[in-house]
Amino acid sequence: MKVGVVTFPGSNCDTDTMAAMEQLGVQALPLWYTEKSLHGVERLILPGGFSYGDYLRSGALAAQAPIMDAVEKAVSESALPVLGICNGFQILCERGLLPGALRPNSSGEFRCTWEYTRVTSVPEGFFGLKEGDVLRMPIAHHEGAYGVASGQLQALFENHQVFLQYSDEKGVLHALTNPQGSVANIAGITQGSAMGLMPHPERAMAIYLGSADGQRFLKAWLGEDGS
Amino acid sequence: MNFRDVGLTQEEFEIIQRQLGRNPNDLELGLFGVLWSEHCSYKSSKSLLSWLPHEGRAVIQGPGENAGIVSLNEDIQVAFKVESHNHPSYVEPVQGAATGVGGILRDIIAMGARPVALADSLRFGTDDAARMIQNGVVEGIGKYGNAIGIPTVNGEVAYSPVYDKNPLVNVMAIGLLSGEHSVNAKGARPGSYLVLLGQPTGRDGIHGASLLASQDFGNVTDDMRPTVQVGDPFMGKMLMEATLQAIATDKLDAVQDLGAAGLTSSVAELAYRSKVGAIIRLELVACREQGMTPYEIMLSETQERMLLVVSPDHWPVIEPLVRHWEVPYGIIGEITEDRHLVVAWDGEIRASVPPEILAGSCPLRSASPKWADEIRRNVPNLTPFRPLTFDAKEAVAVLGSYDCRSRHPIFDRYDSMILTNTVWGPNHDLAILRVRGSNEGLAIAVSGPGRYAAIDPYSGGMAGVSRVIGLLAGQGAEVLGLTDGVNAGNPDKEQVFKELTGLMAGVADACKVFEVPVTGGNVSLHNETDGDSIWPTVVIGAVGRHHHPLEPIPDGPWREETDIVHVHPHGEWSLGGSVYESLFHRLSAYPRLDPKRVADLYQVLAQLATKVPSYAMRMIGSGGLFVTLAKTLLTMPSRLGMDVSIPPEDAVRHLFSEVSGQCLIFCNPGTTKSVLELLSPVTAADVIGRVIPRSDLVIHLRQSYAFERTKLDRVFRDGYGG
């Protein structure tokens, strides 16, 4: 399988993401933001970082980059699986490929911590994960408080678009496990073939780095049984 | 313009006149002003720094370049250095700290190394304004480091009113290079282009080096805000990628970053080290503002700029790389054989000075070995402070004090995990990083004990070195090299220069006994406001070779019945310089350590892992034994606790002494005997207790005290009494 990893100016988790793919035995193809074609990749990742320095608004400028036209087309026409991690999630929201927006953390501060998340609904084709599974992964962001316009939240849950929520280590949701003020502890959502999450699975690829749960998640996204 | 306007003394001006054989014009005077400033010339500290040992088995590059380099193994080298940004961080905390990070990263990049980690050492005051400064500094460090994508993996912070108006922001950066693509500032050849990459030059930061960082503060610092630079980590990231790719082609003559004193320092240093001349054509320098004068262009400290020297033959290979990363660039002049630094504007020569006068002739203040000897001999009297009664409230107050409590409100604001090498991050005393493609990893530690140097700088200098070496030894890691960040007051005052002499003598003596080289660093003087100086504070950063980075020696026990061994090489208990003393008494001199004895202990500690199957260990630091026990407890599984017994007649000193070299070893009862046997030739060590299946810290003196884990946790995380 060939997975594209897009680098925008200022992306800084691109090499980590490519290394994670290679660790999983998947070929990672670096794609520069000016590309107009996706070079036949079967899946695509928008990695984390500070595209365009987060100037204007996180992800707002990258959402208008040339390659995003190709991404949008591939999602709508051929349901290309696209994963946005952290800044990639922000870019997908800004582009309108995912609903809602990532607002500044309620603390007003950047936050880098290990968090537990609970799989709330298993996206289609994720064989290695089941509802209620708890994944430990780090977050590292300044704008990660997920929010939607009023009245939209219920539909997200009803359509099983909320796949990941911040929880405690047993998978229980409460206010204390919400690291930055996301509505309903939402850590990740899906829409069609696009998916975004704030935690960094590519940083949780080995027990000695703190957790190997990211490996499990990425395997599931790749359609493999990682359990 | 007068020589005093640019910060030069009468004597210095006369030397310039003599060496040039004429009066310098205004622009030339400006160039001398910045290059001969304390900040750029190290004129007050160079002779003191010459006491430090620079040689070592692993040293590839010692002081003099943008950063030191040591070898991790045959294939991988490590570039590292600490740099301060104290004055700017007081004037404008966010940008001051942010540009400090950007600046030290560019030093590492200019050596051809890809940065992999940052570690910081911060000092703040205790008044309300100091809290605002801290908030801004932490924001600034995060702003730059997080965005450019280099993790902050370790750090330390301490507090005292002496830092109210002079906060210290010292940042250490560590980078990796293969050795194949090494580059420096020595290889510029006549005919090659001077290529300026990065941000267009603006009016920011003019006189940052000469006026801001080389003079004391009065009450006019608001007017100095324009002398602070503004950081742009986005441009920093693009510049880093472009520069590293350019270096990887092996087609550059030389690289020099633009830091303090901007283009002036960069070109002068480069020409001086390469033994060539250079011509800068100012009309080719892209400026952000119209109407900038030659003086402003030459002295601007606009951030995110890098100077490449490339021969015309190789430029066609380099140019597309720079374009790819969308970094602005321009050829602004060339290297010449004529050994003059010439500044021209539209063909008219505005300044022409030999680089060796600019960069190599500043008169230095001589160090006094006699003073150093006196300081060595005059061991300060230790105060016989022997508090007799242990008070549990005081113990909790020490744990919750500014100097001991958890640093998570600071380090949670830094990305500590990006690049995915961080095996041990900022919640440990030292950082451990894996290095891809190598079995060996990096051990990184930083220490800057200002409190220990407050009364006896010599002792404080030794303690800083001892601390980082102890941290590495506890992991069995070999020290490859140290970097020193020296911070002190106004060197024109005899008292301050004496303190500085003691501090550096302490560092030098410790380095010699521990047999570790210092490969570079930074000096920041004039940390004074309204005549009040900081404590002389030396920040020591260490880089070590870790032999099993994926399996660090744990820093806390994980099962019950584990024995707790307290190792104390000096067998003497003093509260001098301790947090306890600073809270409940008057601060007195930190006890001088016997470096030989501590060095022997560290050697045994470093080999322990090869002789004892499994154990945990932790060095004792601020807050002494009590705080180290409490901090260890909070990392243990929540069902476990500790039960220790301390000699009741001298309990307070046992529990709160911070004498260097102390540590805790947690071992299986079956191995305790052999651990003690290994230690006995070099140190005193006692089994003081064991791990129990109850989650509290129980301390037996004449009576027993049980500290509840939840209470310790709350105090440690949130502080004591607010």
β-sheet bridge partners, residue B194: B309, B333
- Chain B CB within 8 Å of residue A62 CB: no
* Selected residue with higher pLDDT from B721 and A9: A9
Distance, CA of B457 to chain centre: 17
Q: What is the CATH number of the domain that holds B35?
A: 3.30.1330.10
* C-alpha span between A13 and A5 (Å, rounded): 10
Judge whether B495 lies within some domain: no
With beta carbons under 8 A apart, name residues in chain A contacting B238: 9-10
What's the rounded mean pLDDT across residues A183-209?
Answer: 98
Residue B227: what pLDDT?
64
Interval B328-337: pLDDT, tens = 999 999 999 9
Residues of B labelled catalytic: 39, 85
With beta carbons under 8 A apart, name residues in chain B contacting A52: 234
- Chain B CB within 8 Å of residue A213 CB: no
Which of B360, B387, B402 is the C-terminal boundary of a domain?
A: B360
Number of continuous H segments (helices) and E segments (strands) in chain B: 24, 28
Residue B648: what pLDDT?
92
Residue B222: what pLDDT?
53
Structure tokens at B369: 């070995």
Interval B491-517: pLDDT, tens = 999 999 999 999 999 999 999 999 999
Yes or no: say if B400 and B583 are a contact pair by the CB < 8 Å rule.
Answer: no
With beta carbons under 8 A apart, name residues in chain B contacting A200: 417
Give the pLDDT band of residue B55 (cuts 50, 70, 90): very high
**Is the pLDDT at B217 greater than 90, yes or no?**
no
Judge whether B251 lies within some domain: yes
Q: Inter-chain contact B413–A140, Cβ cutoff 8 Å?
A: no
B618 contact partners, CB below 8 Å, separation of at least 6: B429, B474, B555, B556, B628, B631, B632, B663, B664
Backbone angles phi, psi at A153, to 5 degrees: -65, -45
B14 contact partners, CB below 8 Å, separation of at least 6: none
Judge whether B434 lies within some domain: no
- CA geometry: angle B63, B65, B68, nearest 5 deg: 55
* C-alpha span between B329 and B650 (Å, rounded): 67
CATH number of this structure's domain A2-221: 3.40.50.880
What's the rounded mean pLDDT across residues B655-672?
Answer: 97
What is the number of domains present in chain B? 2
Quick one: angle between helices B494-514 and B595-611, nearest 10? Answer: 40
Judge whether B500 lies within some domain: no
- Mean pLDDT for all residues in chain B: 94
Number of continuous H segments (helices) and E segments (strands) in chain A: 5, 11
**Among B215, B210, B243, residue whose Cα is nearest residue B66:** B243
Q: Name residue B290's amino acid.
A: Q
Choosing from A72, A115, A143, A202, which is the catalytic residue?
A: A202
Distance from CA of B341 to the nearest CA of A (A): 36
- Chain B CB within 8 Å of residue A214 CB: no
Yes or no: say if A189 and A99 are a contact pair by the CB < 8 Å rule.
Answer: yes
* C-alpha span between B74 and A189 (Å, rounded): 47
A77 is catalytic: no
DSSP string over B422-464: EEE-TTSSSEEE--TT-S-EEEEEEE--HHHHTT-HHHHHHHH
Q: Inter-chain contact B417–A200, Cβ cutoff 8 Å?
A: yes
Give the pLDDT band of residue B722 (cuts 50, 70, 90): very low
Helices (H), A123-212: 153-158
Q: CA of B232: which chain A residue's CA is closest?
A: A53
* C-alpha span between B167 and B162 (Å, rounded): 9
- Report helix, strand or coil for B324: helix
Structure tokens at B340: 């003059």
* C-alpha span between B133 and B123 (Å, rounded): 10
β-sheet bridge partners, residue A30: A5
Beta strands A186-191 and A43-46, pairing class: unpaired
With beta carbons under 8 A apart, name residues in chain B contacting A55: 234
Domain positions in chain A are: 2-221
A202 is catalytic: yes
The whole domain housing B703 covers: 553-722
Interval A68-117: pLDDT, tens = 999 999 999 999 999 999 999 999 999 999 999 999 999 999 999 999 99
In this predicted complex, what is the ipTM? 0.97
- Chain B CB within 8 Å of residue A85 CB: no
Q: Inter-chain contact A112–B147, Cβ cutoff 8 Å?
A: no
With beta carbons under 8 A apart, name residues in chain A contacting B149: 12-13, 49-50
A22 is catalytic: no
Helices (H), B325-476: 355-360, 369-377, 392-399, 408-411, 450-453, 457-474
Residue with tokens 């919640």: B427
Which of B341, B360, B379 is the C-terminal boundary of a domain?
A: B360
Helices (H), B433-592: 450-453, 457-474, 494-514, 579-584
Beta strands B697-700 and B704-707, pairing class: antiparallel
Which of B340, B360, B380 is the C-terminal boundary of a domain?
A: B360
Yes or no: say if B563 and B692 are a contact pair by the CB < 8 Å rule.
Answer: no
Q: Inter-chain contact A203–B420, Cβ cutoff 8 Å?
A: yes
Q: What is the CATH number of the domain that holds B595?
A: 3.90.650.10
Residue B552: what pLDDT?
98
Judge whether B395 lies within some domain: no
pTM of the model: 0.96
Residues of B with CB under 8 A from a CB of A: 139, 142-143, 146-149, 232-235, 237-238, 325-326, 411-420, 422-423, 434, 436, 550-551
* C-alpha span between B484 and A106 (Å, rounded): 38
Interval B413-439: pLDDT, tens = 999 999 999 999 999 999 999 999 999
**Is the pLDDT at A167 greater than 60, yes or no?**
yes
